[in-house]
Amino acid sequence: MTLNLKEINKELEGKTPLEIVEWAIGFSKEPVVTTNFRPYEAAILKLTNLVKKDIKVIWCDTGYNTPNTYRHAEELIRTLNLNVKLYVPKQTTSHRDVVLGIPDINDSKHKDFTEQVKLEPFRRAMKEHKPDVWFTNLRKGQTSFRDTIDVVSQDANGVVKVSPFYNWTDEQLDVFMEENNLPNEFKYFDPTKQLENRECGLHA
């Protein structure tokens, strides 16, 4: 699928996140939404689930989430009745702790670590479900790479990536979460990023 991204993003200017989701679901045959249940993920899960109740929710669990994040995930899965497709690394966390640990981002082993806990499970999920539309909660200002995309972009495989809240601030999302009675979770840990403004490689 080849899209005129510049034209599409111009047409979507001023549209609400809900309208953007409805637009994408309208032409998609195999949509998915990915989540790691980090802060504000409930917003994208609520919207996509509202438009398409059975949308596949791909959760690539690194195995290093905090207890709070796991409890938050279970609460959202239950209350929103999410159609979760869970993917985990092929090696257990306990085994990896012995042979690799969590390398510092400057350690040459960090690339292998990221491949094991995030990139390989994600590729496996995408290969299995073959989505044409991929909903994310990427937002402008999160990383330098994310500042270069827009509401609608395409990945290297041609999958249409849709980020309905791309131009929203934390303050706007706080209001959305409160209005929709959605829980949030801030005790989140991503071992592949370690720094909040660092791109893990999943999107770039």
Three-state SS letters, 80-111: CCCEEEEECCCCCHHHHHHHCCCCCCCCCCHH
> What pLDDT score was predicted for residue 199?
44
Q: Which two three-digit tokens encode residue 68? A: 């709070």
Per DSSP, 118 falls in state I
Confidence (pTM): 0.88
The mean pLDDT of 91-105, rounded to a whole number, is: 91
**Ramachandran region, residue 40 (left: φ > 0; alpha: ψ -120 to 50; beta: rest):** left
Which of 69-73, 97-101, 128-132 has the weakest average pLDDT? Answer: 97-101
Average pLDDT over residues 174-190: 93
Considering the chain, what is the average pLDDT of its residues? Answer: 91
Ranges of each domain in the chain: 5-179
Per-residue pLDDT band for 148 (boundaries 50, 70, 90) equals confident
Q: What per-residue confidence (pLDDT) applies to 167?
A: 93
Query: What does the pLDDT look like over 157-175, one tens digit per residue?
Result: 899 999 999 999 999 999 9
136 with 150: CB under 8 angstroms?
A: no
pLDDT of residue 147: 67
What tens digit of pLDDT does each residue of 12-30 get? 998 999 999 999 999 999 9
Q: Is the pLDDT at 149 greater than 90, yes or no?
A: no
* 3-state class (DSSP) for residue 51: helix
Q: Pick one of 3.40.50.1220, 3.40.50.620, 3.40.630.30, 3.30.450.20 as the CATH number of 5-179.
A: 3.40.50.620
Distance, CA of 169 to CA of 132 (rounded, Å) = 27
Among 46, 71, 19, which Cα is nearest to 185's?
71
Quick one: pLDDT band at residue 145, thresholds 50, 70, 90? low
Mean pLDDT of 126-145: 88
The mean pLDDT value for 94-102 works out to 92
pLDDT at 200 over 70: no
Q: What is the mean pLDDT of residues 133-148?
A: 80
